[in-house]
């Protein structure tokens, strides 16, 4: 998971998510967005901490889905 953590950090994924959500919704007291290894492909909301946790495993699942899509597209073109 370290590889995917590095990819998320380097690509600024959390910053992009925060900017996108912030542009659509106004949260007066803020919401913290973090990423970590959770053991499952998911994201979690903690209302007491007002924190969204994006799991690295979910990032892996998204990458696999995107990779599969482009492979199917490439196969269809040939």
Tens-digit pLDDT profile for residues 31-75: 888 889 999 999 999 999 999 899 989 988 988 898 888 888 888
pLDDT reading at 77 higher than 90: no
Q: Say what the pLDDT of residue 42 is.
A: 95
- Domain span at residue 34 reads 2-77
Instruction: List, edge to edge, every strand of the sheet that includes 43-46.
Output: 32-36, 51-55, 43-46
Flag whether the pTM goes above 0.75.
no
User: 58 near 44, Cβ under 8 Å?
Assistant: no
pLDDT value for 45: 94
Give me the number of domains the chain comprises.
1
Which segments of 20-71 are extended strands (E)? Answer: 32-36, 43-46, 51-55
């Amino acid at each position: 998971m370290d590889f995917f953590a590095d990819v998320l950090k380097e690509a600024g994924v959390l910053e992009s998510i925060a900017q996108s959500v912030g542009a659509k919704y106004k949260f007066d007291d803020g919401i913290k967005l973090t990423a970590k290894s959770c053991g499952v492909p998911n994201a979690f909301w903690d209302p007491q901490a007002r924190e969204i946790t994006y799991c690295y495993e979910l990032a892996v699942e998204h990458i696999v889905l995107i990779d599969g899509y482009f492979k199917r597209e490439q196969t269809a073109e040939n």
